[in-house]
Amino acid sequence: MKLSKRILKSDGFRAFACWIAAWLIRLVHATNRWQVVRGDIPRQFWRDNKPFIVCFWHGRIMLMRYCWDMAHPIYMLISEHQDGQLIARTNTHFGIKTVVGSSSRGGAKAVREMVRLLNSGQYVGITPDGPRGPRMRAGEGLITVARLAGVPIIPVSYSTSRGKHLGSWDRFLVAQPFGRGVIVWGQPVEIARDADETAIEEARTQIEDSLNTVTREADDLVGRAFVEPEPLVDVQQAGGG
């Protein structure tokens, strides 16, 4: 038993597991028929070499590499948690780079690094409900990065006709082969550099609503039942309010 645990926790085993995960992700993408909705939105930014933050829910992270044109390098904000590091290692197989930390939980260093990257013309990806939720509720950290860097936030989501949601906090969607898939982009959200607390909260709510809208649209297009965000009453109780 102890030997099995040591093997499972070994760096070699984790590297192999991430390689397998990347192979499975490629297989699922290759065997689904894909549609992209409003793909002209990011293409305009890529064409003009204008940086932006792409955001998507943690539960839809599996196939998000395929929303992106890898001719334009992207850095993903990934937590220091074990599951975050597994995601980061899997992402390396697709050429995605990593910023380690959090945009909201004592992650000042990560915020500074993302602002630096955006100011240098790079692109950044953030899951605003990660790393631990609440599910499909956006934190303010995303808004802080966009405001300091002076770049827009663009929401995106995907869904597939074949797959299942795990019982995890984020209801992670495990897509399966041989179905239909759709990637849906939302409109850019701008945040003024001098935004006050009211404007920041309005932007946070706008991002949250936009992400849920594009996720619902993606689910509707493939006939999948929409997973509801964590109820606000639960979020408020968790925050002590």
Task: State the DSSP string of 112-149.
Answer: HHHHHHHHTT-EEEE-TTTTT-STT---SHHHHHHHHH
Per-residue pLDDT of the chain (241 residues; tens, 9 = 90+): 454 455 446 777 889 999 999 999 999 999 999 999 999 999 999 999 999 999 999 999 999 999 999 999 999 999 877 777 789 899 999 999 999 886 555 478 999 999 999 999 999 999 999 888 999 999 999 999 999 999 999 999 999 999 999 999 999 999 999 999 999 999 999 999 999 999 999 999 999 999 999 999 999 999 999 999 999 876 555 544 3
30-85 pLDDT tens trace: 999 999 999 999 999 999 999 999 999 999 999 999 999 999 999 999 987 777 77
User: Cβ distance 34 to 105 under 8 Å?
Assistant: no
Question: Residue 102's Cα: distance from chain center in Å?
Answer: 13
Look at residue 241 in the predicted model and tell me its pLDDT.
37
3 state DSSP class of 184: strand
Token digits of residue 34: 């894909």
DSSP β-ladder status, 123-126 and 74-78 = parallel
How many CA atoms are closer than 13 Å to the CA of 116, on its beta-carbon side? 7
User: Cβ distance 209 to 109 under 8 Å?
Assistant: no
Give the integer Cα–Cα distance in Å for 183 and 197. 32
Look at residue 131 in the predicted model and tell me its pLDDT.
86
Phi-psi region of 163 (alpha: psi -120 to 50; beta: other; left: phi over 0): left
26 phi/psi in degrees, rounded to 5: -60, -40
pTM score: 0.91
Domains of the chain, by residue range, sit at: 2-227
